[in-house]
Amino acid sequence: MERIYDLIIIGAGPAGLSAGIYAGRSKLDTLIVEKEKDGGQIVITSEIENYPGSIEGETGPSLIERMVHQAEHFGTAKVYDTIVNVELEGEVKKITGKRGEYLAKTVILATGAFPRPIGCPGEKKLVGKGVSYCATCDGALFEDMEIYVIGGGDAAVEEALYLTRFARKVTIIHRRDELRAAKSIQEKAFANPKIAFLWDTVITELKGDGLLESMVVKHVKSGEETEIFAPEEDGAFGVFVFVGFVPLSSLFENKVKMDSGYILTDDEMKTNILGVFAAGDVRKKSLRQVVTAVSDGAIAATQAEKYITQ
């Protein structure tokens, strides 16, 4: 007889791991299915200062490592597999991966989101050759060089501050005339002598033969375009993109209700399908942070347990 789990959690980011911890503590027979690596976007975050109770010098990887051990401690199982189809209707849900099929009474969708690209010519071919979406991954490659950070939110400014450890100069390019980041983060950026700003500006093209050598920027108010070249002594420079995320939800299209790719839930993380919940960055909400992701996961697991009991 095929094993039917009480709960399957798709995704091992903060939301999925939090759900796994709560489900394990409730003695639910729980399986987390993760595609590649635990942690999702948080594992590329260099510094975490706003998660309650985080230790000094906390990083994404260090926080996730503790979450993983905690979920394992409470008996939550995990497999690495790429899900290719989900059947969410009915009392038993069927999750199909490349490596096997998994059955469960309830499912939590916690697949997260991925970095939104600029969408300009040249970007795709220069990823890993000057264009990056991960400061902790690639910052050290630009030791004593110039770096441009795209975006004006918390992530963009925090990562710009981190990149000053390596670059001799970091310029934040923002399409507006003021940052959207928290005031405390802005103050740090404005006080840092290595950080400069290009306001009301967007990138329209990235150029380079093997490495990023120049970029075309446009002033959104005047329409004037300017080409910025890498310093001659460097021959290249870095562009780090932090302009938001795209939900990893295509697998669930026409399966659950969505809005602009984000899964719709109520306050109890319930989707429009009985026994199916969503948590974390993949669902529509006003704030996408680690603290809200783990809250979502806790609520979703608690509601899954109630659904099974009732």
Q: Would you name the residues annotated as active-site residues?
A: 134, 137-138
CB contact at 8 A, 130 and 212: yes
Q: Which one-letter amino acid corresponds to residue 96?
A: T
Alpha helices in the chain (DSSP H): 14-25, 60-73, 135-138, 154-163, 183-191, 290-309
Q: Which residues of 88-120 are buried (b: 16+ CB within 10 A; e: fewer)?
A: beeeebbbebeeeebebbbbbbbbbbebeebee
Instruction: Give residue 63's Cα distance to chain centre.
Output: 15
DSSP string across 130-187: TEES-HHHHGGGGTTSEEEEE--SHHHHHHHHHHTTT-SEEEEE-SSSS--S-HHHHH
Quick one: angle between helices 60-73 and 14-25, nearest 10?
20
- What distances in angstroms separate CA 59 from CA 47, 54, 55, 96, one per listed residue? 5, 9, 9, 33
